[in-house]
Amino acid sequence: MRIGPTLMLLIFFIWTKALFASQPDSIVIYDNSWSFLNSYQYKYVLVNKGDKFAFYQTYKHIRDNKGENESSKIKKIGSVSFEKISSLTTALTDSSFSKLKLENFGYDLNWIHSNSDKLFSYVKDKNEHWTTQQITFVKMQLSDIENFQSAVKRVVGREGIYNIAKDGGTGFNATIYYKDRKPIELNANENPFGMPWQVDSIKSFNPAIPKLFSEILPDNSTYNKRRFSNFCYLMPELAKHIYDDKCGKKMDELAAFEFQKEIDELKVKFKIKSASEYGYGDGYIWEDKQVIKIKIHDSTMLENLNIDLYLTREGNTLYTRDSILAKGSNLVKTVQGIPFIKTFLLEDSSRKLMINFENDASINNKVIDSFNKTEKEWQQYEADVKRWNWLDSMKLETSVDRNKALATSKQIYCGCNFRLDNNFLKNGIYFVIHDKKTGNWSNWIVLPDSTIVLWWIQGDGFYNLTNTDLGTNGRGVQYVCRKFKPNGELEK
């Protein structure tokens, strides 16, 4: 049946009248934010004019580095259509958004599977050297919708996240008034997108609510306008959260699988206790290339002594394993053969000793640079000595104790005590001891001539020697730079 122009006009008139009749009389909006240095508060009023809503700003108060600006002057901003307000009131009463779910935002399993590469691109910068196993594992985690359901509850709902200290916040609330019925009160949460929105006594996770309010607020408006519309950041944030929660801890371990063949070659002599990508946490090396850290042990070692082997990626393989296979036994024999070190380890199994070895040597370039320093730095130390001697000869008083200053300088520039040839030093051994009960760390060097040097400590001493015994100040990292006898006594 064909609808004539007259009937069409009548239908439009009835629909328009119904639309107008269901519209609010007015809407009052409060938009505010505060922090230690800045704050703002705006009040807006929308008034039903019969065919649209006139939009006014009735109050503002801004405090920032320019000072304070307060005004109660009524300022007309523009107008808002009936259709937009109708969409807002419909969204407020939609009961299908009572729970926080990924689907609320228009994403489902089909979208996730169809956008695998896009999701991976959001986390690609989380890792520097990607291996096939890592990519496969991460994409698998980013294809599991249950991971996204959990992530959206954390990222949007902030479940399990508590702010212990706050120096600011945001507020957004509105009241929708009607001529013939009770007004609707609504409040936005401080969470992303204001969720959950409190609509009278009901919670809503409808994304249409913040979207519409963001469209209604003036273009020059506030943080709330931005946070209500930032839906383009949702999936990137969820992907990053899934990576941190499900993938991050596995990445180092997965990186090592790429080199399982090379790692297995060490089994002819050692037991592999662990293998993972090196994260530069202990400061032993700093390479631009990918480094795999492998903890190895053999039957000749005490249970609490291991070798931490660092092998650099060279193309699609790891640096040759020949060096550690050839030198490993001598490393262990030397370190474990120091009487006081062996006694220290045997007394308490929670004490751990790690012999470090990078590619082909235990004393690598970073240790050489840090421990031995350079001829230029030795010269700087000599210049300091001359300067202090000159001050003494001139009988000039200073607020700094000369002997303490020189002692500190000699500890920081540890090489000033030894001034070794770098090629000689490279044949030494570097190892680290951690006493778990006391929390103390100590870093040692055994020179090629069997001289034992305690380089630096972190804690309140080593074994039965206090910081005072070692001549340090007892705070943070302390450079000892002292020789030890095999029985554990300090060389004089």
User: For position 480, what pLDDT does the model report?
Assistant: 87
Which among 402, 406, 415 is positioned nearest to 375, based on CA atoms?
415
How far, in Å, CA of 176 to CA of 186, rounded?
A: 8
Considering only residues 379 and 308, tell me which one the structure prediction assigns the higher pLDDT. 308
Mean pLDDT comparison of 374-388, 417-431, 463-477, highest-scoring range: 417-431
How far, in Å, CA of 208 to CA of 193, rounded?
A: 10
User: For position 180, what pLDDT does the model report?
Assistant: 87
Mean pLDDT, residues 465-472 taken together: 85
Question: Dihedral of the CA atoms 111, 116, 122, 123 (nearest 10)?
Answer: 140
CA angle 430, 337, 266 (to 5 degrees): 60
pLDDT tens digit sequence for 322-363:
999 999 999 999 999 999 999 999 999 999 999 999 999 999
**Cβ distance 303 to 350 under 8 Å?**
no
Domain ranges of the chain: 6-97+169-230, 102-159+233-249, 259-373+414-484, 377-412
User: For position 356, what pLDDT does the model report?
Assistant: 97
How far, in Å, CA of 352 to CA of 319, rounded?
A: 27
Q: Has residue 396 got a pLDDT over 70? A: no
Considering only residues 388 and 224, tell me which one the structure prediction assigns the higher pLDDT. 224
Q: For helices 234-242 and 145-155, what crossing angle results, to 10°?
A: 110
User: For position 19, what pLDDT does the model report?
Assistant: 45
User: For position 22, what pLDDT does the model report?
Assistant: 74
Confidence class of residue 10 from pLDDT cuts 50, 70 and 90?
very low
Q: Is 469 helix (H, G, I), strand (E, B) or coil?
A: helix
**Cβ distance 269 to 328 under 8 Å?**
yes
Find the range with the poorest average confidence among 70-79, 133-142, 414-423, 448-457: 414-423
User: For position 372, what pLDDT does the model report?
Assistant: 84
pLDDT tens digit sequence for 182-235:
999 999 999 999 999 999 999 999 999 999 999 999 987 688 999 999 999 999
Q: Residue 200 burial by CB count (10 A; 0-12/13-18/19+): exposed, middle or buried?
A: exposed
Q: Has residue 426 got a pLDDT over 80? A: yes
**Centroid of chain to Cα 359:** 30
pTM, two decimal places: 0.72
pLDDT tens digit sequence for 20-50:
457 999 999 999 998 878 899 999 999 999 9
How far, in Å, CA of 341 to CA of 337, rounded?
A: 8
How far, in Å, CA of 292 to CA of 275, rounded?
A: 7
pLDDT tens digit sequence for 108-128:
999 999 999 999 999 999 988
Confidence class of residue 446 from pLDDT cuts 50, 70 and 90?
very high
How far, in Å, CA of 411 to CA of 455, rounded?
A: 9
What percentage of the chain has pLDDT greater than the value 70? 88
User: For position 12, what pLDDT does the model report?
Assistant: 41
